[in-house]
Amino acid sequence: MRGFQEIFDIAAARKGGAEALEEMLGDGPLSAQALAAIPEDRWLSQMTRCVFQAGFNWKVIEAKWAGFEAAFRGFDVGACALMDDDWFDRLMADKGVVRNGPKLATVRENAAFLLELRAEGGAGAVLGGWPSGDYIGLLDMLKTRGARLGGMTGQYAMRFMGRDSFILSRDVVARLVAEGVVDKAPTSKGAMRAVQGAFDTWMDQSGRGLTQISRVLAMSV
Residues 16-75 have pLDDT tens digits of 999 999 999 988 899 999 999 999 999 999 999 999 999 999 999 999 999 999 999 999
Work out the pLDDT band at 122, boundaries 50, 70, 90. Answer: very high
Work out the pLDDT band at 128, boundaries 50, 70, 90. Answer: very high
Report CA-CA distances (Å) from 135 to 29, 130, 141. 14, 7, 10
DSSP assignment, residue 30? P
How large is the average pLDDT for residues 68-84? 98
Based on its alpha-carbon atoms, the radius of gyration of the chain, rounded to whole angstroms, reads 19
Report CA-CA distances (Å) from 74 to 40, 89, 123, 171. 11, 18, 16, 35
All structural domains of the chain: 4-28+166-219 (no CATH), 33-161 (1.10.340.30)
Report CA-CA distances (Å) from 132 to 66, 145, 160, 209. 33, 19, 16, 8
Output the pLDDT for position 28. 86
> Does residue 169 contact residue 218 with C-beta atoms inside 8 Å?
yes
Q: Which distant-in-sequence residues (6+ apart) come within 8 Å of 92 by Cβ?
A: 99, 101, 104
Output the pLDDT for position 27. 83
Instruction: Give the pTM.
Output: 0.96
How large is the average pLDDT for residues 102-131? 97
**What DSSP letter does each residue of 61-79 carry, written as one string?**
HHHHHHHHHHHTGGG-HHH
Tell me which of 54-58, 109-113, 124-128 is least confident: 54-58
How large is the average pLDDT for residues 79-104? 97
- Among 211, 198, 123, smallest CA distance to 165 is for 211
> Does residue 182 contact residue 176 with C-beta atoms inside 8 Å?
yes
Output the pLDDT for position 70. 98
Q: For residue range 184-219, what is the model confidence (pLDDT) as tens digits?
A: 999 999 999 999 999 999 999 999 999 999 999 999
Q: For residue range 139-148, what is the model confidence (pLDDT) as tens digits?
A: 999 999 999 9
